[in-house]
Amino acid sequence: MIHYNLTCASGHEFDSWFKSSDAFDSLASAARLSCPVCGNTEVSKALMSPSVAMAGEARDLGAPTTEIEQALAALRRQVEENSEYVGLNFASEARKMHEGELPSRSIYGEAKPEDAKQLIEDGVPVAPLPFMPRRKTN
């Protein structure tokens, strides 16, 4: 795996991991990379300095460093502190609350794409979150 700092043609900076340098080149040339801020597919490598740990230091690879990562971490904290995780029961719980079978409360969880689409079509107020539940991350 290789980590690159990236920039889009609009000047937004972000980062990502790739299987190899060739994998980045292939995705970039096919316009299969896009800026998470504006969606621009003109993405290129940004100037990077090497990450060198001094003797006795360890770099925390899980700490958010960019503005986007910090915003996503803050959103995750907000959701986790103010909502109940209902796991794979999300679609069922959301529908029951919408239909008045359960009292309304803030929930988050996981739903199959077809179940989420049906909730939206039925007018159930749901929205995708830009992160995976902690049990799904490495």
Averaged in consecutive runs of 10 residues, what is the pLDDT profile of the chain (138 residues)?
Answer: 88 88 90 89 82 53 74 90 94 96 94 92 91 67
pLDDT at res. 65: 75
pLDDT at res. 135: 66
Residues 6+ apart with CB under 8 A from 103: 97
pTM: 0.53
pLDDT at res. 2: 85
pLDDT at res. 15: 87
Q: How far apart are CA 42 and CA 116, in angstroms?
A: 31
Would you kindly state where each structural domain of the chain is located, as residue ranges? 2-45, 67-131
pLDDT at res. 130: 85
Angle at which helix 90-98 crosses helix 113-121, to 10 degrees, equals 10
pLDDT at res. 78: 93
